[in-house]
Amino acid sequence: MTSWLRWTALPVLAVALVAGVLAVQVGHGGGSFEPLHPADPCVEREVTSRAEGIDALTERLVLLGIDGAACRLHINREALTLELAQSDDPTDAQVDALRGGLHDAVHRMKADGTLPPISSFVDEALDNADLNGFLKAAIRALPDSVIDAALKTDDVLDRTIDDLDLRELLANVDDQDDLNRQVEAAVTQAVKDSLVDRLRNLL
């Protein structure tokens, strides 16, 4: 084959390969492209976590809470995150929506039976608590039934949410992962602190 024929054949071969790929794509439904629409935050979705303990609880709480906040504001999650990222001063409506969304998430988990008993978090909360060893041992000696009768998971979460400085948290959001991470970290620590404080009062 001459040099001229080789150079002529290359574009033809390229066109044939592209046409073959397009044919396969169209054959598998690739010809009916539809842009993805943001999920409706008002539609309940299943939220699971790979984490364990308090981290798993707060991860689910925050994901559902952000959905609830977006729903209250009549926008999607992506739009809410974008609004927060574009301002260092969240509005009262945004702060109230997130607090309300987090409370809604607590009530939803209580209603569907996915809130673990508070006794299942005692050891984790005490591990890094600023308490002397004797007090920790005394709390750990309390029967689960006594702890669960005195402290309810939804009550601990609701009080924790009320005490969170959400305005400060929302002022430092850059993207969706950032929003999730910051709120989760704050809620996790606040739950541990609240639980330890209330457990100490049982003695």
pLDDT band at 37 (very low <50, low <70, confident <90, very high): low
The mean pLDDT of 121-140, rounded to a whole number, is: 91
> What's the token pair of residue 67?
């959905």
Domain coordinates in residue numbering, the chain: 59-200
pLDDT at 24 over 90: no
pLDDT at 23 over 50: no
The mean pLDDT of 187-203, rounded to a whole number, is: 89
Neighbours of 96 (CB within 10 A): 15
- pTM for the whole thing? 0.77
Q: Which residues contact 44 (CB under 8 A, 6 or more apart)?
A: 108
pLDDT tens for 74-96 read: 999 889 888 888 888 899 999 99
pLDDT band at 13 (very low <50, low <70, confident <90, very high): very low
